[in-house]
Amino acid sequence: MNNLLEAHSVSKNFGNFTALNNVSIAVPKGSIFGLLGPNGAGKTTLIRVINQITMPDTGHVLLDGEPLQRHHIQNIGYLPEERGLYKSMKVGEQALYLAKLKGMHKTEAKKRLLDWFERLEIGDWWNKKIQELSKGMAQKIQFVVTVLHQPKLLIFDEPFSGFDPINANIIKNEILRLREEGATVIFSTHRMESVEELCDHIALIHKSNKVLDGNLNAIKREYKTNTFEIGINVSNAKDVEQQLNERFHVSAANFKSLGDELKLNIKLSEKDTANDLLNYLTTKGQLSHFVEVVPSANDIFIQTVKNN
């Protein structure tokens, strides 16, 4: 079994509104899986189905090969986008309560909590009330509570919102560490740079349908257009550009550099290879920049959503 979680043809309607239409995803074990999509696409509904908060109308979900059951909540840690804590409860009390709801024993929960609090340097918050903490501080507690019961599957919905860059980085590293320790992560966000940074796999949901999914690199390979971004120092820029234009499909490029070289995007036809272009360019002048243009997750996101 290579997939920790599989959703098969899940559909959900609310009255006349279709929130999910026949959506299937497969989350490989040990991966960080990006669940992407514009606002209102149905991501949250899918996450709620996985958490058994919402029951699907049709379709089913397998966790580790077993159909989803009530006891599986112990294997899932969920950080919803709409999150909060009891304001008037003390940090420690509250964390223990939430841990016990996940089926943990009190002594074990307390031990692990103290470990986490120490690691995140929030040990002295145990007896503070949530309402005395800042939003970012409360978010840290929330994160700890989500992962405390060492679930196999972690679901984070916009985990970095509310964090300053330093704390966001701490949380990012903790997520990576948890993955190292064997957890699988589903990660829903609008921040494409964190998708780029973290995700191995993605699925894109748009208007209740899954429009794209797979390994992020494979998708990028699929979306790339065989275009190279080059910078070249030549004496007669106009002539070189014209010569290039005759052989390749050329457009202006824009990237930061130290000199004032000629900057171009060059799209190769199918019969040309990168080496052909490179050899050709070296005959023209001093090459300062040669990079294959790989579509960013952001580009793929926008392009896919527009095309659908």
Partner 1 sequence: MNHLPLIIKREYLTKVKNKAFILMTFLSPLIMIALISIVVYLIQMNTSKVRQISILDESGLVKQIFKDTENTKYNILDGISLENAKEIVKEKGDYGLLHILKIDNLNEASKSIRFYSEDSPSISLISSLDDKIEKELTNINMYRMDVNPEIIESSKINIDIAQESFDGEKTSEIDSGAKIVFGVIAGYLLFMFIIIYGNMIMRSVIEEKTSRIIEVIISSVKPVQLMLGKIIGTSLVGITQFVIWIILGSVLIVVVSLIFDIDITQMNMSQQETIQHAIQGSGDKMKDIQGFMNAFFKLPLTNLIIAFILFFISGYLLYSSLYAAIGAAVDNETDTQQFMMPIILPLILAVYVGGFTVIEDPHGTISTIFSFIPFTSPVVMLMRIPFGVPIWQQILSLLILIGTFMGTVWFAAKIYRIGILMYGKKPSYKELIKWVKY
Judged by the rule CB under 8 A, the positions of this chain that interact with partner 1 are 14-15, 48, 51-53, 70-71, 73-74, 76, 78-80, 82-89, 97-98, 100-103, 142, 145
Q: How many whole angstroms separate alpha carbon 219 and alpha carbon 173?
A: 25
Sheet of 153-157, strand order: 76-79, 153-157, 184-188, 32-36, 201-206, 209-215
Look at residues 171, 194, 201 and name the one whose alpha carbon lies nearest to residue 31. 201
- Cβ burial 164-202 (10 Å sphere, 16+ → b, else e): eeebbebbbebbeebbeeebbbbbbbeebebbeebbebb
Q: Which is nearer to partner 1, 70 or 306 (CB)?
A: 70
Please identify, using beta-carbon distances, which residue of 63 and 232 lies nearer to partner 1: 63
Minimum distance, C-beta of residue 73 to partner 1, in the bound complex (Å):
6
Cα–Cα nearest to 253, from 226, 233, 230: 230
- The CA-atom distances, in angstroms, between 272 and each of 65, 260, 284 are 46, 28, 18
